[in-house]
C-alpha cells in the first residue's frame, strides 16, 4: 500500500500542496487540511489510510469504508450521519469537518476519482517534500 509522506525539512510552507488539492477537488473547503506543525511551519495533514482504521470501525452508517483493493479509506458523504464519530476516533487527528457547513468530512482520498488519478500534492510540490511511498 502507498502512503503520502512529507519531509518537513524540505517543506518551505508555500502551500502549493493545498492549492493543488483545492484545484483537484474543486472546493475551497480543502484548506482545513493544513495546520501549523510543532516547528511553526505550515504543513498539510494527510489521511494515513490505516490498516485497521478506527474511523471505519466507529462509523455507524458505513460512510467510511476501507477499500480492500486499493487500501484507501474512502468516505461517502451521502451515507454520512454527521455524527463526527470518525473525527473523534482518528488517532492522528486528520479528519476535519468542512469549514463552511460542517456537514462533510474532509479527508485525503489520494485524488481518487479526479482527473489526475494520483495525489496532486505530490505532483505539484516544488521542493519534492511530499512523496508517495510504499509502506
All domains of the chain in start order, with CATH: 2-128 (3.30.70.20)
In the structure, what pLDDT confidence band is assigned to residue 78 with cuts at 50, 70 and 90? very high
Looking from the CA of 20 toward its CB, the CA atoms found within 13 Å total 21
Q: Where are the alpha helices (DSSP H) in the chain?
A: 16-25, 54-58, 85-89, 120-124
The C-alpha atoms of residue 119 and residue 122 are separated, in whole angstroms, by 6
CB atoms near residue 45 (< 10 Å):
19
What's the alpha-carbon Rg for the chain, to the nearest Å? Answer: 14
Average pLDDT, whole number, for the chain?
A: 85
pLDDT score, position 34: 60
pLDDT score, position 26: 72
The C-alpha atoms of residue 68 and residue 53 are separated, in whole angstroms, by 12
Residues 94-111: tens digit of each pLDDT: 888 877 777 888 888 888
The C-alpha atoms of residue 64 and residue 86 are separated, in whole angstroms, by 8
In the structure, what pLDDT confidence band is assigned to residue 131 with cuts at 50, 70 and 90? very high
Beta carbons within 8 Å of 42's beta carbon, 6+ residues apart: 11, 13, 15, 34, 35, 36
Amino acid at each position: 500500500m502507498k502512503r503520502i509522506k512529507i519531509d518537513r525539512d524540505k517543506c518551505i510552507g508555500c502551500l502549493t500542496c493545498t492549492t493543488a488539492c483545492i484545484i483537484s477537488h474543486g472546493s475551497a473547503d480543502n484548506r482545513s487540511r493544513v495546520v501549523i506543525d510543532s516547528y511553526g511551519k505550515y504543513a498539510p495533514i494527510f489521511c494515513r489510510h490505516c490498516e485497521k482504521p478506527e474511523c471505519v470501525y466507529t462509523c455507524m452508517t458505513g460512510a467510511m469504508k476501507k477499500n480492500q483493493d486499493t487500501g484507501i479509506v474512502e468516505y461517502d458523504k451521502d451515507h454520512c450521519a454527521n455524527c463526527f464519530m470518525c473525527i473523534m476516533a482518528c488517532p492522528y487527528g486528520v479528519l476535519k469537518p468542512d469549514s463552511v457547513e460542517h456537514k462533510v468530512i474532509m479527508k485525503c482520498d489520494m485524488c481518487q476519482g479526479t482527473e489526475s488519478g494520483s495525489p496532486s500534492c505530490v505532483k505539484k510540490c516544488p521542493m519534492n517534500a511530499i512523496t508517495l511511498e510504499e509502506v
